[in-house]
């Protein structure tokens, strides 16, 4: 059964986030490959004010955990470049 994960990212300057994504496409590509490899079904990013929320559907929580273990350093590097706050995530079950 798939799961939904919401990740709230505070202290985000959306223009800075977009600029970092444009300046470091190789990091975004690494994440994209890892997302696919570990069973990400869909990814959507929304924002309001100075907060971003990622909404991801995963095949399993195990796939999510494997992605985070593998991609943690890249995620941390992007967060540092973007100047965002500490993210918080919530895992939702689908019924």
Q: 38-55: per-residue pLDDT in tens?
A: 999 999 999 999 999 999
Residue 66 Cα distances to 7, 10, 24, 37, 70, angstroms: 16, 24, 23, 10, 6
**CATH class as words, domain 3-93:** alpha beta
Helix (H, G, I), strand (E, B) or coil at 9: strand
User: Whole-angstrom Cα distance, residue 70 to residue 72?
Assistant: 6
Mean pLDDT of the chain: 97
Task: Tell whether the model's pLDDT for residue 9 goes beyond 90.
Answer: yes
| DSSP 8-class letter at 39 | T
Mean pLDDT, rounded, for 32-40: 97
Structural tokens at position 86: 């500490």
Q: Tens digits of per-residue pLDDT, 73-92?
A: 999 999 999 999 999 999 99
Q: Which of 7, 26, 6, 5 is nearest to 81 (CA)?
A: 26
Give the pTM: 0.90
């Amino acid at each position: 059964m798939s799961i939904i994960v919401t990740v709230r990212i505070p202290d985000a300057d959306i223009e800075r986030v977009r600029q970092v994504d444009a300046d470091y496409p190789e990091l975004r590509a690494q994440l994209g490959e890892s997302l696919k490899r570990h069973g990400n079904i869909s990814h959507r990013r929304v924002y309001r004010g100075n907060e971003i929320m990622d909404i991801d559907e995963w095949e399993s929580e195990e796939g999510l955990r494997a992605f985070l273990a593998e991609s943690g350093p890249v995620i941390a590097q992007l967060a540092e470049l973007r100047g965002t706050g500490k993210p918080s995530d919530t895992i939702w079950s689908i019924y």
